[in-house]
Each structure stands twice: as C-alpha cells, then as structure tokens.
Structure 1
C-alpha cells in the first residue's frame, strides 16, 4: 500500500511538471529605434553658401527656373485679363451667313486706331515744323531789320561825307579863283597851306566814303526794302 501511495504521488508531481511545461510563455517585446530615440523634426535651410559646387549649380538653376515660372505665370495672368476685357468689349459677332467676323472686326478697329495715331503723329510733326518755320521767319526778320538799320546808318554817313566833299571842293574852287585873280607867280604861304589842308581832307573823305560803302546801295533801294517790309508785316 505504501508503495502504491508513493507511486501515485510521483505521478501527480510529474503531471504538474508537464502542465507547467506546456504553459505558453509570453514573448519579450523588442524595443525599436523609434522607441529608443524619440523622433525629432530637423529643419534644414539650404543656401548657396552651404552647398558644394555641383549642388550650388543645380540650386542656382532651380532658383532661376522658379523665378522664370513666376514671371510667366504673371504674364499669363495679364494675358487672361486682357482676353477677358477684349471678349467683354468685343462680343461674338456674326455676319448674315452665320460666320464669325469678330477677328476681322477687331483687326479693322486696330488698323483704324493705327491710322488715327499716325495722323496725330503727322499733325504733331506739322505743328513742330510750323513752329520752327515761324521761328526762322522771325529770326530772318530780325536780321533783316538789323541789316537795314546798319544800311540806313551807312547811307546817312555817306550823305554827310558827300556834303563835306561838296563843301571842300567848293572851298578849293574859291581858293583857286582867288589865286587866279591875284595872278601871283609865287603862291601865298597861307593860301598854299589852306589848299593842302583842303586836299588832305578831301582825300580822307573819299577814302572814308569807300570804306563806308562796301556794296553798291542807294537811297532808292533802301526805300524799296522798307516798303516791302511794311507789306509783309
């Protein structure tokens, strides 16, 4: 009986050990890199100075392309606005056969505008040339007046010189008449001196007259020019 009891207790222990051995052991949880190191957001700012030469060239080219794209987008936006304005200003136009003549109409309006601008440009050019011509006329009129004034002064001086010449010649004739009446073989000293002075004055006046009249002018020509100027004014 004792041996049977021992055998039964051994069997019971063996069964308990088998039950403990057959129990599923839980798996250990492995820690990942994300569990060990917390995720951190790192912001990297690229600049031209922090890049190597090949990357710098790519960076510059990329920046240039982006700027060009922005410029093209702005131009495209402006073109779209202009197209909308044109469509609003010039709606769809059809002829009697139902054909679209909007483009022809717009072309005609543009051509008319160009012709109008050309006419305005030509009118402005004509006005400018007219102003220049009037200014040239005024300048020529002033120069003519100055020339006529000088000419009048020359004629006045010429008349004075001729008057003096007549007086000197008259005195010479009177002096010669006195000498003829005296019939003296030896002329008087005072008479000779006076005659020499008169002849010297006569020569000086003749030279002065030639200097004062470099061109052939007379009183009638001056009067004719005065009348012509009055008619033009």
Structure 2
C-alpha cells in the first residue's frame, strides 16, 4: 500500500514539476556548454558513430541534472498541529536514541533520511513553529549514508520551537558529492510545514532530532516523500 502511495505522489510530482531556483542558472550554463560541445564535434569531426552517441549521452546527462533540480509542489494534508513531516525525499537510514552534543547536549531520538542523486533535494520544514537557532559547521565530505557523516561532514543546523514549546532540530548534511548546502531559515522566522527550508546539491542527508517519547512512525529502509510522509507524532 505504501509503495502505491509513493508511486502516486511521484506521478503527481511529474505533473506539477517545476525547476528549483537553485538549479536554474546551473541548467542554463550546462545547456550552453553541451550545445557548444556537440556543435564543435559535429563541425570538426562529423562522424556519426562519434557525434550521435555524444549527443545521446549529453541529452541523458542533462535530463539527469534536470531531474535532480525538480521542485514539486506539495501540500501536507494531515494533522499539522502534532505532526512531524519528512523534510526530504529519500530512505530512512537511522532511527535511534542518541546523544546530541552540538546543541541540546542531551539524549534525543534521531531520524535520518538519505537522499540519493535521484531524489528531490529541496528540504521542507518538518514542523510549524519559530526558528530559534541557525548555524553552519565546516567538515568532511564522506558518503552521507555513513553514521559518522552526521557529526563529521559539513552541515547546517536549524532548531524550531513549536507552539507547544517543543524544540525540533533539523540538520542538513553534505555528502560525498554535495559541495553546497543552502539554508533559507533565519532566527526569528515563523515557519510552516509546507515551506522550503533549504536545498542540498548532489547527494546528501537530513537528520531530525526529536524529544524523547516522540512516537516515531517510520523504520529503517522506509521511503519518504518530503512534505508528505509523516515520520513522527508529538
């Protein structure tokens, strides 16, 4: 049933797809470069078994990058007041109680979502509330699915206080291919589940740290759809 729902939302994404603002300039530049390269190959070499395969490879590569920067329009229809909604598309790679030592300095429930290069890389706010903390830490670029990436990779941290006073921490983590984390949240902002919080370019991970006692609704290897899948309930 969950797979059918996931496929349904993917089909809806295709119908409502637009290009994320973070990818517009990249796609324009990439298109120009590929057009120039293909024109040069066609003009100077003009051998079909060279120019045609290169053209096909160029189109496939451009479509892959286009797919990466898609920005589907989504609206969460569940109980917003008590829901914690997946901030990203991807696969659940961690659900565990951990010590969070960068902000809370106490135990929290960590839910981690790994995003492959084929996933949407826009990030949504997981809860409604007020942004109380934003910080950025430089670090390494290990594969984002590794547990150590949560504390050793380059990352941005955003803390949101809900209307009920609960603090939810969301961490954007760069991966082996990611070299830029974009965070739109600023301290004092009022935020909403249906709003974009940021974007991570080319493979990455998002960690959400929840208060102990939170009811977690996902398990390892579950697939999530950003701003659609409810991952926990306060």
Structures share fold, TM-score greater than 0.5? no
Normalised to the residue count of structure 1, the TM-score between the two structures is 0.21
Over alpha carbons, which structure has the higher Rg?
Answer: 1
Q: Which is bigger in relative contact order (C-alpha 8 A, separation at least 6)?
A: 2
Structure in which a larger fraction of residues adopt strand: 2
